[in-house]
């Protein structure tokens, strides 16, 4: 299928590049991986052309700004990354759009940077790489906390999507991975960390306060669609400090938007389609952590959807979500 739109598509600046080294593994591909992350020109566009991806919404690699402890330094790096994305969009306005990197140490600073990116640079929303570390390695801030309500008020006012992207848990708080570090990142820990953060948002009363919020997550829902019926069923016996006015599943189905990024698998896709409104499901690749070729080859051939659904999920839904100027 030509004309696909993808929006978990990463790049790096020199300040955040080294954070991606572990994802290159021991396979000797660091130089190639570096080139892919830094490139916003011919190589990336060539992959897009070859796989039928018309537009990619760029975002900063993980953990990015969320790994930077100092608030001033985090703002500097976020603004540098946002300027780099704005420059790429200006050069290739029909091929790229952008999702803002935000320093989440202070909700008001994050809100101002989001306003700048949306109102002045024309960004389509934000992508934040999980919880924010603040001040020291072991201090993690999650965005369901009451102190972030002013930030969410700005997201609501701007009416743009917020992509909650995975990151690894802090080592000191990850004893359940002891002896098995391979579990901490993409194979399992990414989904676990992002799903817990997402469920915290659902249970915090956030969506009662701001009913127009739209939260995006990748990898066909970070395992939540598979578990959603049981979550709601067992909530009958576990509602202590649950602050939502409705069942948790209602918030997830109403406010979460799910991409295929990095999960090119028919059974998982079928489950997500069964659980969520098809208006809230989208194609994405997760480049360069996944190959565009793998994402597109699977998506273009899967028989889980018909051709009308393929166009809707691959293109039309993203145009509506991000208010893209595409036909």
Which sequence positions are flagged as catalytic?
A: 286
Buried b (16+ CB within 10 A) or exposed e, 206-229: bbeeeeebbbbbbbbbbbbbbebe
Q: In a 3-state reduction of DSSP, which class is residue 201?
A: helix
CA distance 278 to 317: 9
Helices (H), the chain: 14-17, 21-24, 30-38, 42-51, 71-91, 107-115, 149-158, 189-202, 206-209, 224-234, 248-255, 266-275, 292-301, 307-311, 317-322
CA-CA-CA-CA torsion for 171, 219, 264, 307, nearest 10 degrees?
Answer: -170
Contact 288, 23 (CB under 8 A): no
């Amino acid at each position: 299928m030509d004309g696909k739109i993808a929006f978990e598509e990463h790049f790096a600046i020199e300040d955040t590049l080294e954070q991606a080294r572990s994802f290159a593994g021991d396979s000797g591909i660091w130089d190639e991986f570096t080139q892919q992350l830094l490139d916003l020109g011919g190589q990336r566009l060539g992959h897009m052309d070859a796989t039928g991806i018309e537009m990619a919404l760029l975002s900063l690699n993980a953990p990015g700004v969320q790994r930077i402890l100092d608030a001033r330094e985090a703002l500097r790096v976020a603004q540098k990354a946002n300027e780099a994305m704005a420059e790429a969009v200006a050069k290739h306005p029909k091929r790229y759009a952008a999702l803002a990197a935000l320093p989440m140490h202070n909700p008001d600073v994050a809100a101002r940077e989001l306003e700048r990116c949306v109102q002045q640079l024309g960004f389509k929303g934000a992508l934040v790489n999980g919880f924010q570390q603040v001040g020291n390695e072991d201090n993690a801030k999650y965005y369901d906390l009451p102190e972030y309500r002013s930030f969410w008020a700005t997201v609501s006012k701007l009416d743009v999507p917020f992509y909650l992207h995975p990151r690894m848990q802090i080592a000191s708080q990850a004893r359940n991975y002891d002896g098995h570090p391979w579990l901490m990142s993409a194979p399992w820990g990414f989904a676990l960390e992002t799903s817990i953060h997402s469920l915290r948002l659902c249970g915090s009363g956030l969506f009662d306060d701001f009913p127009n919020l739209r939260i995006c997550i990748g990898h066909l829902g970070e395992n939540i669609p598979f578990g959603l019926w049981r979550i709601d069923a067992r909530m009958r016996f576990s509602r202590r400090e649950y602050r939502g006015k409705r069942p948790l599943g209602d918030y997830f189905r109403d406010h979460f938007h799910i991409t295929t990024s990095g999960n090119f698998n028919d059974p998982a896709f079928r489950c997500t389609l069964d659980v969520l409104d098809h208006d809230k499901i989208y194609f994405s690749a997760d480049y360069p952590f996944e190959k565009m070729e793998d994402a597109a080859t699977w998506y273009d051939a899967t028989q889980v959807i018909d051709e009308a659904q393929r166009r809707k999920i691959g293109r039309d839904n993203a145009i509506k979500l991000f208010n893209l100027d595409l036909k």
